[in-house]
C-alpha cells in the first residue's frame, strides 16, 4: 500500500530477514536457500503491501501454500516482533513448537501447507468469502513453480478467475528448482505468465529480488479490477547471498554442515553496511 | 421413536434440509462440484443463490475452496457423491478441512467444515467407480473427524443441523431420492455419538447404521413374524461414538450381527468388533454388508439380492446366526 518508506529501507529489512534465516537454519539445518531468496518478497509483503490492523496484525490475509517456505514468514515476523528469535532458534527441534512446515492456526499460517498445491484453492475460497462479506481485505497466496505441477493449483486458478476475484493475488516463486532438480528438467512449467493469462488472470513476470518492481507490481495487482492477479517472481536459491549461492546452488534442504554459515552472515553484514551508507 | 402406520416417502430430503437451514442460517454456503441437481441442491441454488457455490467438476477444488470459505467466516457444506468426495479428494478432506481443530492441532476449536457424500455404497447403480464402499472407514481414520451415517430424512436433517455448529470436519452420508420416513421427529432427538434402541427384545442383537438400519428394520419385521427374538440398535454416529453404549448392548446378547451399506472392513462392523475386543470376552460378532470385493451394479433391490442383503435373505442369515 506504499507506506512512507524508501526502497532502501525495505532492502535493509530484506537483508535483516536474510540474516534471520541464516541464524535460524544454522542451528540444525532447514530450508535456508528458499528463505534467503524470498526475503525481498517477504519485506515488500509484510512491511509495505499488507495493511496493519488495530490489533497489531494485518487486515489483509497471507496464505502460504508451500510449507517449506515457512522459514520466510518466521524470519520476517521476527523482524516485525511477532516472533522471538529465541523461539525461532528451536525451528525443527524435536519437541519444539516451531514447526518446519507449520499447521493451520499457528501465527502467520492460515493453512496446513505441507501437502503442496492446496494454497491456491484455499486462498481463492477465502477471497470469495471475504468479498461475500463486503470486506475490503485482500488475499495473497505464495506458492512455488514446482507446485504448478499439482492439478489442484489449476482447479483453484480456474475458480478464482471464474469468480473474478480481484481481491486475490497469487505470488509464484519461480525458482526453477524442485526436490529432484530443475523444474525445466523434471516437468516443465513455463511459460508461467501465459498459462495464468489463459486461465483468466492478469499476470506479470518480474524479478523476485527487485524491490521497486515488487512494489510496482503489488500496486498493479491492487488496481486490477474484474480478475485475479498472478505475479510471477523469478528467483534463484540463495539470491542475495552470493557466497552461498556459489557454494550450494542446488540446495533443497540445507543441512547444518552443508554450508559456511559464518561466511553468509558476513556477506549480509557487508550488504547492510552498504545499504546503511546509501540511506 | 419409530413412526407407525403407512410409510411416507420423502422424494428429496436434502432439498428441504438445505433450504430450511440456509433460510435460517445466512452463514451457511452449500457447495457443489457440478452435481447440485444430482445431490438435490435445487431450491438453495435457485432461490438463495448467494448461499450456493459451484466449483465445477473438481472434487479436490471443492474441498480446498470449502476450507478457504470456512477460514473466511462461512460454514461450507460441500456436497458430492460419496465416492468422489472421499476417494478423489481424501488429502484435501484430511489436510485442508480436517487439520485445523481439536487435540494435536493448533486450535482447540477451529473452523467448521462439513462434507456430505450422496449415493454411498450400493445406493449408486454404477459399479466400482461410483460406489463408495469404504468412505466411512476412510473418514473414520482422520483424527478428530465426526462421521455420521443417518438412516432416514429425520436423523439426516438433525445431523446436518448439528454439524454446522461442530468445530472441525464432519462427514455425513446423504440420502437422495425416495427415502422412507422411519423415525418420528416428535420423539427422536439427535445427539452426536448417541446410539438408539429401535427395538428391545431377547435373543440376537442387531447393530446397524445408515441404509443398513432401513434394511435391518425390514428384516426385523420378518424375524418378528417368524418368532425370532432380537433387539435393534441404530448407530448413526460412527465417530465419536459412545463406546459404552455399544459395549452395553453387545454384552447383553450372546450373538451380535452388524448391518451396513459399506464394506464389512473398516466400517460399522469393524467399529463394533474393535469396541467389543477392547473390552474382551464378548459375544461373537457377525458382519453383514458389502464384501471386500467389487459389488455388482444395477438397481438397489437387485444389488441387495445379489449380496444377500434383501429383507428375506437378511432375515434368514440373521436367524441362522441366532440358531
Average pLDDT taken over every residue of chain B: 97
Verify that B165 and B264 share a domain, yes or no.
no
**pLDDT per residue as tens digits for the range A1-48:** 677 889 999 999 999 999 999 999 999 999 999 999 999 999 999 999
pLDDT at A252 over 70: yes
Q: Which domain holds residue B77?
A: 12-180
CA angle (B311, B314, B320) in 5-degree steps: 140
Verify that B28 and B151 share a domain, yes or no.
yes
Phi, psi of B10, rounded to the nearest 5 degrees: -95, 115
Q: Which of the 8 DSSP states describes residue B271?
A: H
pLDDT of residue A1: 64
In a domain, B140, yes or no: yes
Q: For chain A, which residues make up each domain, given as ranges? A: 7-278
Which of A104, A117, A135, A141 to mutate to probe the B interface, most B CBs <10 Å?
A104
pLDDT of residue A212: 97
In a domain, B25, yes or no: yes
**pLDDT per residue as tens digits for the range A117-130:** 999 999 999 999 99
**pLDDT per residue as tens digits for the range A58-86:** 999 999 999 999 999 999 999 999 999 99
Out of B180, B215, B242, pick the residue that ends a domain: B180
Residues 6+ apart with CB under 8 A from B6: none
CB atoms within 10 A of CB B27: 13
CB B208 within 8 A of CB B260: yes
Phi, psi of B117, rounded to the nearest 5 degrees: -105, 115
pLDDT of residue A3: 79
Q: Which of A5, A122, A138 is nearest to A64 (CA)?
A: A122
Out of B151, B180, B209, pick the residue that ends a domain: B180
Cell 480436517, residue? B98
In a domain, B3, yes or no: no
Verify that B24 and B157 share a domain, yes or no.
yes
CB A31 within 8 A of CB A146: no
Q: Is B99 on the interface with A (CB under 8 A)?
A: yes
Verify that B136 and B166 share a domain, yes or no.
yes
CATH number at residue B227: 3.40.50.920
Verify that B237 and B300 share a domain, yes or no.
yes
Verify that B130 and B225 share a domain, yes or no.
no
Out of B180, B207, B232, pick the residue that ends a domain: B180
Verify that B50 and B151 share a domain, yes or no.
yes
CB A55 within 8 A of CB A62: no
Structural domain count, chain B? 2
Verify that B176 and B34 share a domain, yes or no.
yes
- Chain B: give the shortest CA distance to residue A264, in Å: 34
Verify that B132 and B204 share a domain, yes or no.
no
CB atoms within 10 A of CB B89: 25
Q: What is the DSSP string of chain A?
A: ---S--HHHHHHHHHHHHHHHHHHHTTT-BSHHHHHHTHHHHHHIIIIISPB-TTSSBSSEEEE--GGGHHHHHHHHHHTTSS-HHHHTTTT-TT-SS-SS--TTSTT--S--SSTT-HHHHHHHHHHHHHHTT----EEEEEETGGGGSHHHHHHHHHHHHTT-TTEEEEEEE-S-BTTB-HHHHS----HHHHHHHTT-EEEEEETT-HHHHHHHHHHHHH--SS-EEEEEE--TTTT-HHHHHH-TT-SSB-TTSS-HHHHHHHHHHHHHHHHHH-
Contact list in B for residue A129 (CB cut-off 8 A) is 68-69, 71-74
Flag if B72 and A127 touch (Cβ within 8 Å).
Answer: yes
ipTM of the complex: 0.97
CB atoms within 10 A of CB B232: 24
- Chain B: give the shortest CA distance to residue A159, in Å: 6
Flag if B105 and A127 touch (Cβ within 8 Å).
Answer: no
Verify that B95 and B244 share a domain, yes or no.
no
Verify that B210 and B314 share a domain, yes or no.
yes
* C-alpha distances in Å from residue B65, one per residue of B36, B76, B115, B142: 16, 9, 12, 19
Verify that B214 and B160 share a domain, yes or no.
no
Average pLDDT taken over every residue of chain A: 97
CATH number at residue B123: 3.40.50.970
Q: How far is the C-alpha of A239 from the C-alpha of B291, rounded, in Å? A: 57
- The CATH number given to A7-278 is 3.40.50.970
Using 50 as the pLDDT threshold, list the residues of chain B that sit under it: none
pLDDT of residue B171: 99
CB A119 within 8 A of CB A112: no
Amino acid at each position: 500500500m506504499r507506506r512512507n518508506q524508501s526502497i532502501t529501507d525495505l532492502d535493509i529489512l530484506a537483508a535483516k530477514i536474510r540474516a534471520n534465516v541464516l541464524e535460524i537454519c544454522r542451528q540444525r539445518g532447514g530450508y535456508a536457500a528458499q528463505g534467503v531468496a524470498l526475503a525481498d518478497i517477504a519485506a515488500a509483503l509484510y512491511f509495505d503491501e499488507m495493511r496493519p490492523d488495530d490489533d497489531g496484525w494485518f487486515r489483509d490475509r497471507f496464505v502460504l501454500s508451500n510449507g517449506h517456505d515457512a522459514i520466510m514468514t518466521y524470519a520476517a515476523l521476527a523482524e516485525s516482533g511477532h516472533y522471538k528469535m529465541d523461539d525461532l532458534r528451536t525451528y525443527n527441534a524435536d519437541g519444539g513448537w516451531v514447526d518446519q512446515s507449520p499447521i493451520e492456526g499457528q501465527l502467520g499460517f492460515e493453512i496446513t501447507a505441507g501437502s503442496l498445491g492446496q494454497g491456491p484453492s484455499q486462498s481463492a475460497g477465502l477471497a470469495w468469502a471475504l468479498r461475500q462479506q463486503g470486506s475490503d481485505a485482500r488475499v495473497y497466496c505464495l506458492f512455488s513453480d514446482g507446485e504448478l505441477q499439482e492439478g489442484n493449483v489449476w482447479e483453484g486458478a480456474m475458480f478464482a478467475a471464474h469468480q473474478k476475484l480481484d481481491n486475490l493475488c497469487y505470488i509464484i516463486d519461480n525458482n526453477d528448482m524442485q526436490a529432484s532438480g530443475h523444474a525445466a528438467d523434471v516437468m516443465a512449467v513455463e511459460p508461467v505468465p501465459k498459462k495464468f493469462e489463459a486461465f483468466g488472470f492478469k499476470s506479470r513476470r518480474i524479478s523476485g529480488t527487485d524491490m521497486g518492481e515488487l512494489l510496482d507490481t503489488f500496486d498493479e495487482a491492487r488496481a486490477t479490477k474484474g480478475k485475479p492477479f498472478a505475479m510471477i517472481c523469478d528467483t534463484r536459491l540463495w539470491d542475495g547471498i552470493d557466497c552461498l549461492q556459489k557454494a550450494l546452488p542446488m540446495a533443497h534442504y540445507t543441512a547444518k554442515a552443508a554450508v559456511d554459515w559464518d561466511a553468509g552472515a558476513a556477506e549480509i553484514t557487508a550488504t547492510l553496511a552498504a545499504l546503511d551508507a546509501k540511506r | 421413536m419409530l413412526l407407525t402406520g403407512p410409510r411416507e416417502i420423502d422424494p428429496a430430503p436434502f432439498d428441504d434440509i438445505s433450504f430450511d437451514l440456509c433460510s435460517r442460517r445466512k452463514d451457511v454456503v452449500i457447495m457443489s462440484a457440478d452435481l447440485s441437481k444430482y445431490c438435490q441442491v435445487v431450491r438453495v441454488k435457485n432461490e438463495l443463490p448467494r448461499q450456493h457455490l459451484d466449483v465445477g467438476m473438481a472434487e479436490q477444488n471443492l474441498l480446498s475452496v470449502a476450507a478457504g470459505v470456512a477460514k473466511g467466516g462461512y460454514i461450507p457444506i460441500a456436497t458430492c457423491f460419496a465416492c468422489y468426495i472421499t476417494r478423489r479428494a481424501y488429502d484435501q478432506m484430511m489436510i485442508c478441512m480436517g487439520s485445523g481443530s481439536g487435540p494435536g492441532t493448533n486450535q482447540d476449536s477451529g473452523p467448521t467444515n462439513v462434507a456430505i457424500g450422496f449415493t454411498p455404497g450400493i445406493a449408486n447403480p454404477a459399479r466400482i467407480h461410483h460406489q463408495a464402499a469404504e468412505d466411512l472407514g476412510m473418514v473414520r481414520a482422520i483424527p478428530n473427524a465426526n462421521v455420521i451415517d443417518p438412516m432416514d430424512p429425520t436423523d439426516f436433517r438433525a445431523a446436518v443441523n448439528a454439524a454446522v455448529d461442530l468445530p472441525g470436519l464432519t462427514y455425513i452420508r446423504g440420502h437422495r431420492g425416495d427415502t422412507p420416513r422411519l423415525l418420528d421427529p416428535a420423539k427422536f432427538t439427535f445427539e452426536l455419538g448417541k446410539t438408539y434402541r429401535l427395538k428391545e427384545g431377547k435373543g440376537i442383537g442387531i447393530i446397524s447404521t445408515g441404509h443398513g438400519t432401513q434394511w435391518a428394520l425390514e428384516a426385523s419385521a420378518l424375524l418378528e413374524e417368524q418368532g425370532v427374538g432380537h433387539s435393534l440398535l441404530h448407530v448413526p454416529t460412527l465417530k465419536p461414538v459412545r463406546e459404552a453404549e455399544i459395549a452395553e448392548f453387545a454384552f447383553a446378547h450372546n450373538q451380535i450381527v452388524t448391518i451396513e451399506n459399506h464394506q464389512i472392513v473398516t466400517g460399522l462392523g469393524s467399529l463394533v468388533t474393535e469396541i467389543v475386543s477392547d473390552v474382551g470376552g464378548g459375544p461373537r460378532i457377525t458382519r453383514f454388508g458389502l464384501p471386500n470385493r467389487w459389488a455388482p451394479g444395477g438397481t438397489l433391490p437387485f444389488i441387495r439380492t445379489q449380496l444377500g442383503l434383501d429383507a428375506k435373505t437378511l432375515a434368514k442369515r440373521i436367524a441362522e446366526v441366532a440358531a
